[in-house]
Amino acid sequence: MPITCPRCHSAKLRRSKRRSLVDYLVSAAGVLPWRCEKCEARFHARPVPFRFSLYAHCGLCGNPELQKIAPEHVPGASAFLGRLLGLPSLRCDPCRHKFFSIRPPLPEEHLAVQSSVD
């Protein structure tokens, strides 16, 4: 599941029923309503957000909401190369994956568009 709750970051989500005109309109664009099983937050998100593929995203879960971390915190053999090339070092909060990305991090204004809690 590439989507996590924007409020509590739980990955335990279920598809919410389309019940409003907005739900039908956004679903036409591939954005679906979801509900978090943990905190009951309802939000809209795209299962695989293609427009984020231009930007850095987690290779394990597809999450584009990444934290910038210090390069020395990235483990593994790729860390040496990433440091050498000066790539941005990022951390995915839901799955704790740390990595360097050759893509630029997602600008923050895009995050508000991706999901909205009501």
Round to whole Å and give the CA distance between 37 and 60: 22
Min separation Cβ 71 and Zn ion, Å: 18
Give the whole-angstrom CA distance, residue 3 versus residue 61: 8
Provide the mask over 44-63, with x wherever binding to Zn ion is found by CB under 5 A and - wherever it is not: --------------x-xx-x
Choosing from 3, 36, 66, 87, the residue that interacts with Zn ion (CB under 5 A) is 36
Near Zn ion by CB under 5 A: residue from 2, 3, 4, 5: 5
Q: Which residues 88-107 are close enough to bind Zn ion by CB under 5 A?
A: 92, 95, 97
* Distance (Å, whole) CA 17 – CA 90: 34
Taking the complex as a whole, the smallest distance from the CB of residue 28 to Zn ion amounts, in Å, to 25
By the rule CB under 5 A, 31 interacts with Zn ion: no
Nearer to Zn ion, 26 or 66 (CB): 66
Q: What angle do CA 76, 84, 87 make, to 5 degrees?
A: 80
CB-based contact 110:53 (threshold 8 Å): no
